């Protein structure tokens, strides 16, 4: 009987030691210990880059009848996919919520000409810009209150037209904290922001030159670019990736540099630059020798 109890005790001890030895290995497979797949690894595994986008001409254009897509970044990403031998898959997302889509892995990148800001950089990283745009101030055509006097915008009696997640929100909160904000939902159409100014619902807004010129051509005599309100901001057009996804960002930057240096990007920009000089090219990172 004593030998039987001794054998049983030894067996219990051996089982306990075995459990202790294997427990760390078992823990490695629990959800909290399994390494999350990086965006780069996900792209390499699927051989596809899942791109988020929002419609904003001429960066991203979507035909309302056919659904056919075009635009600077659509063509740019098509060229990027060929350079990287990856399929580009597009998913329309909200301008105001795409940071969450990047973080969750719903999209690998936001491929729609994202303008980097300090606030955005808390949640995402950005590739090097492929071109720049200037942001200008627009008011009603007969409104002279802000001509060479942008400080007058910073008043509780002034309303700034904007869209959720759009640059006017950022400029308003940074430069004109006392002004009111009339913000459209992020799925509103692009011209509606300027239309709110033209119809008197708002007093001013901030837009790039091409967007403003398109509206003024379609609605002559309704709005104007405010004298002294030009170049209130300048932004580079980039691809955004989730915070810390350096491998993916480095790959995109390398392919993008190739497209810039080969002239592909400039050709795409020229195709969509309706108003010559409205898009500012990236300076070359080198100085060619003089040919004598």
Do residue 199 and residue 165 come from a single domain?
Answer: yes
What are the contacts of 216-221 at 24+ separation with CB within 8 A? 218/191, 219/194, 219/195, 221/141
Do residue 146 and residue 228 come from a single domain?
Answer: yes
24 in any annotated domain = no
Cα gap 289→208, rounded to integer Å: 36
185 in any annotated domain = yes
Domain boundary, last residue among 234, 254, 269: 234
Q: Quick one: tokens of 154? A: 């910073």
Cα gap 205→172, rounded to integer Å: 9
Do residue 244 and residue 116 come from a single domain?
Answer: yes
Does residue 189 register a pLDDT over 90? no
Do residue 247 and residue 202 come from a single domain?
Answer: no
- Number of domains, the chain: 2
Closest CA to 99 of 70, 124, 129, 128: 124
Do residue 221 and residue 249 come from a single domain?
Answer: no
| Lowest-pLDDT range of 22-36, 127-141, 257-271 | 22-36
157 in any annotated domain = yes
Do residue 136 and residue 150 come from a single domain?
Answer: yes
The per-residue pLDDT for 96 is 87
Q: What is the pLDDT of residues 50-108, one digit of tens each?
A: 999 999 999 999 999 999 999 999 999 999 999 999 999 999 999 989 999 999 999 99
Do residue 151 and residue 223 come from a single domain?
Answer: yes
143 in any annotated domain = yes
222 in any annotated domain = yes
| Lowest-pLDDT range of 12-16, 140-144, 155-159, 200-204 | 12-16
Domain that holds residue 84: 39-130+237-281
Give 2's pLDDT tier (boundaries 50, 70, 90): low
Do residue 53 and residue 120 come from a single domain?
Answer: yes
136 in any annotated domain = yes
* 204 C-beta neighbours (distance < 10 Å), count: 26
Q: Rounded to an integer, what is the distance from CA 210 to the centroid of its chain?
A: 19
* 143 C-beta neighbours (distance < 10 Å), count: 15
Residue 129 phi/psi, 5° resolution?
Answer: -65, 150
The per-residue pLDDT for 186 is 82
Cα gap 175→54, rounded to integer Å: 26
286 in any annotated domain = no
Instruction: Return mean pLDDT, the chain.
Output: 91
206 in any annotated domain = yes
Do residue 116 and residue 249 come from a single domain?
Answer: yes
Do residue 167 and residue 214 come from a single domain?
Answer: yes
Residue 276, domain CATH: 3.40.190.10
Do residue 58 and residue 114 come from a single domain?
Answer: yes
The per-residue pLDDT for 201 is 98
Tell me: cis bond preceding 23? Omega within 30 of 0 counts: no
């Amino acid at each position: 009987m004593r030998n039987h109890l001794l054998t049983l005790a030894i067996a219990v001890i051996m089982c306990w030691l075995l459990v202790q030895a294997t427990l760390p290995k078992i823990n490695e497979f629990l959800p909290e210990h399994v390494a999350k797949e990086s965006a780069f690894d996900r792209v390499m595994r699927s051989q596809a880059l899942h791109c988020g986008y929002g419609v904003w001409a001429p960066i991203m254009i979507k035909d309302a009848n056919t659904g056919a897509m075009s635009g600077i970044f659509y063509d740019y990403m098509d060229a990027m996919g060929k350079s990287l031998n990856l399929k580009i898959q597009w998913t329309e997302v909200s301008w105001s919520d795409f940071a969450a889509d990047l973080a969750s892995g719903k999209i690998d990148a936001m491929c729609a000409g994202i303008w980097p800001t300090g606030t955005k950089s808390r949640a995402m990283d950005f590739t090097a810009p492929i071109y720049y745009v200037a942001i200008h101030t627009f008011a009603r055509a007969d409104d002279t209150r802000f001509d060479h006097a942008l400080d007058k915008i910073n008043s509780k009696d002034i309303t700034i037209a904007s869209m959720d997640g759009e640059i006017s929100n950022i400029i308003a909160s940074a430069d004109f904290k006392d002004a009111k904000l009339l913000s459209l939902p992020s799925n509103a159409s692009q011209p509606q922001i300027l239309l709110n100014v033209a119809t008197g619902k708002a007093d001013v807004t901030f837009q790039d030159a091409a967007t403003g010129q398109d509206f003024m051509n379609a609605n002559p005599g309704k709005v104007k670019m405010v004298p002294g309100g030009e170049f209130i901001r300048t932004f580079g057009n980039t691809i955004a990736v989730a915070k810390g996804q350096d491998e993916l960002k480095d790959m995109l930057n390398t392919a993008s540099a190739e497209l810039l240096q080969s002239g592909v990007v400039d050709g795409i920009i020229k195709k969509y630059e309706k108003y010559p000089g409205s898009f500012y090219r990236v300076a070359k990172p080198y100085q060619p020798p003089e040919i004598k």
